[in-house]
Amino acid sequence: MLVNILKIGGSVITNKDVEYSLKISEVYRIAYEISKAYKYCTKHMILIHGGGSFGHSTVIEHGNVEKPYSIAQIIWFMKELNMIVTDALNAYGVPAVSFDTHAIFYRDFDGDLKCFYKPLEKALKKDIVVVLFGDIIFGDRDAEILSGDEIAWKLSTIFKPSRILFATDVDGVYDRNPEEPGSRLLEVVRISEVGSVDMESRKKVDVTGGMKAKILHGLRYWNSELREVLIFNGLKKDFIFKALCGESVLGSRVVL
C-alpha cells in the first residue's frame, strides 16, 4: 500500500496574522483538489494540517501549555479548525476521517515520539483518507505542542511513503527571507546545510519552529524508502492536486 503524506501549513488555510481567521475559499479549493487526486490517482492519503491563527494565537494567549485550562483551550480550537477541514473534504466526496492527535501520540522520557498507528493503518486499507493536525500531546515528562511537520516525518517512518509533501504559503525554501529583494528559491536543500540558510519567519507567529524546524526533523526521521521531500506553494491552484498525483510542481526538494 503506497501512502501519500501531505502536510498543509496553517498559513495556507488561515490568516496567520489575524486571530482565528479562516481562508475559507482556500479550504474548499484544497478540498476540491484532494477530491480530484482521490478520484484519479491515489486513495491512500494521510493529510495533516497546521494550526495557523487558530493554534498559534491560542498558545500565545495562554503562554503556558502545561496548565489544564490552556491545554483544553488549545485542543478545542484545533479541533474546531480540524472539523472545518474535514467537513470540507467530505463535502467534495472525500471519505475523510479525523483522528485526534493527542489520543494517538505521546513523547516518552527519552524524547522519542510514539504513535498508536494501527487504527490509521486499518482506515487506510479501507480507502479512508486520514486527517490529523498539530496539537497538544501528553508525554512522560509533560504536555507539549506536537507540530504537524513532525507528525508527517514520524508517520513516514511507519508507513514508508516514497514522498512527503509540505504545502506552504511560499514557493519553497529561499536563501534568505523571501520578502527581501534578491532572495533566491533553492531547488535542492541539503539538510546538513540548513544551518547556513536564513529561514526566519516573516513576522508571523509560529510556535512550532517554522521552515527550519520543518526540514531539520529529517535528521531524526529520514528513512531509506524516501526518495523525495517536496516543499511547495499550496496557495497556487492545482499544485496540491499535481503534487499528490506525482506531477512536477515548482518547489524545493529536500535531500540528506
> If the chain, 256 residues long, is cut into consecutive pieces of 10 residues, what is the mean pLDDT of each piece?
95 88 96 98 97 75 76 90 98 98 96 97 98 95 92 97 94 85 90 67 51 86 90 98 97 91
Cα 223 to chain centroid, rounded = 18
Q: What's the pTM? A: 0.92
Pair 48, 134: CB distance under 8 Å: yes
Residues 6+ apart with CB under 8 A from 63: 70
Of 82, 87, 94, the closest CA to residue 36 belongs to 94
- Known binding residues are 7-11, 51-52, 56, 148, 169, 210, 214
Report CA torsion sign: 77, 79, 81, 83.
Answer: negative
Residues 6+ apart with CB under 8 A from 245: 37, 40, 41, 42
- Known binding residues for substrate are 51, 56, 148
In DSSP terms, which residues pair with 164 in a beta bridge?
Answer: 5, 229
Kindly state the cell numbers that stand for 144.
507539549
Number of residues assigned to the chain: 256
CA atoms of 222 and 165, how far apart (whole Å): 14
Kindly state the cell numbers that stand for 3.
501512502
Of 2, 5, 1, the closest CA to residue 154 belongs to 5
Confidence at residue 69, expressed as pLDDT on a 0 to 100 scale = 86
- Known binding residues for ATP are 7-11, 52, 169, 210, 214
Confidence at residue 201, expressed as pLDDT on a 0 to 100 scale = 46
